[in-house]
Amino acid sequence: MRTRYLIGNWKTNKNLKDAVSFVEQFQQNKLNYNAKIGIAPVYVHLTEIKKIISDSLLLFAQDANFIESGSYTGTVSFTQLQDIGVNNSIIGHSERRKYYNETSAVINQKLFACLKASMQVVLCIGEALGQEISFLKTDLTNCLNTIDKSLIKNLVIAYEPLWAIGTGKTATPEVANQTIKTIREYINDLYDENVANNISILYGGSVDHNNIQKLAIMEQIDGFLVGKASLEIKNFLEMARVYA
Ligand code: PGA
């Protein structure tokens, strides 16, 4: 059985008070979920949230530099995240690629550093409008270049078509399911059937409490990376109730 996830990517949203309050409210409901539930706040909130977060929530960074320390103004290294007890990170989100020119070569270095340090990583991939799905194979091949099979156990993939992120246009359950199946085939080509069958592949892009159920029933979809709809505790709890 593949692990299922519901992860809120808060991007550059929330002040500290709201972020802490969200976590407190989430933890007040003592439900047992069948999926792993996580949040990815901004860096500067991680330490405070780490103090109050319980085992019921995974804490993710939104990015991690692959260089342990040095002169890289404005970045946070994977070792600094681990130092404050944050062992999960999103890597290669399309907004990092788009606004900060992050290439698959850089993503590859980040993945390697984090996975080697036993961090759990959510690698985001997705095609632009009109781009062939086969682009995902090229991107995966570059992002995972020389990353050994033994490191893949801590890797989760999030399939997020660029045209669906923040647009309100979700991929249909059938399309999301079919594309994730294809991604699994690419992973099979890069590694083997065992890796392909066991890796969790999430869908992301305008998921909310109204559409999550229809997507969730698709057999290839192992969970969700949710942006906008994860910001309100009420919506997040509803998604957790419906899905997790
Ligand atoms: P969205 O963002 O849910 O707001 O579309 C998803 C993401 O960027 O991870």
- From first to last of its 244 residues, what are the pLDDT tens digits of the chain? 899 999 999 999 999 999 999 999 999 987 788 999 999 999 999 999 999 999 989 999 999 999 999 999 999 999 999 999 999 999 999 999 999 999 999 999 999 999 999 999 999 999 999 999 999 999 999 999 999 999 999 999 999 999 999 999 999 999 999 999 999 999 999 999 999 999 999 999 999 999 999 999 999 999 999 999 999 999 999 999 999 8
Whether residue 183 contacts residue 201, with contact meaning beta carbons closer than 8 Å, is answered with yes
Ligand 1: does its nearest atom lie under 6 Å from the Cβ of 202?
no
Which backbone phi and psi does 129 adopt, to 5 degrees? -60, 125
pLDDT at 199: 98
Query: pTM for the complete prediction?
Result: 0.97
Pick the catalytic residue from 45, 93, 102, 127: 93
Catalytic residue among 95, 102, 127, 160: 160
- Kind plus residue range of the DSSP H or E element containing 155: strand 155-159
Q: Cα-flanking dihedrals φ and ψ of residue 211, to 5°?
A: -105, -5
Residue 45 designated active-site: no
Residue 77 is classified by DSSP as B
Residue 21 sits at φ, ψ, to 5 deg, of: -60, -40
Q: Position 186: which residue type? A: Y
Closest atom of ligand 1 relative to the 158 alpha carbon: 9
H helical segments located in the chain: 16-28, 43-52, 78-83, 94-99, 104-116, 134-143, 173-190, 193-198, 212-216, 233-243
How far apart, in whole angstroms, are the C-alpha atoms of residue 109 and residue 67?
A: 9
- In whole angstroms, give the CA distance from residue 110 to residue 103: 11
Query: What pLDDT, on a 0 to 100 scale, did the predictor assign at position 160?
Result: 97
Q: Which of 11, 97, 123, 165 has most ligand 1 atoms within 8 Å of its beta carbon, as the pocket-test mutant? A: 165
Within 8 A by CB and 6+ apart from 74, the residues are none
Instruction: Give strand pairing partners of 122.
Output: 90, 156
What is the reported pLDDT for 25?
Answer: 96
Phi, psi of 212 (to 5 degrees): -60, -35
**Nearest Cα to Cα of residue 5 among 153, 161, 162, 122:** 122
Q: What is the pLDDT of residue 128?
A: 94
Q: How many CB atoms lie within 10 A of CB 194?
A: 10
Q: What is the pLDDT of residue 31?
A: 77
**pLDDT for residue 215:** 97
Termini Cα distance of the chain = 15
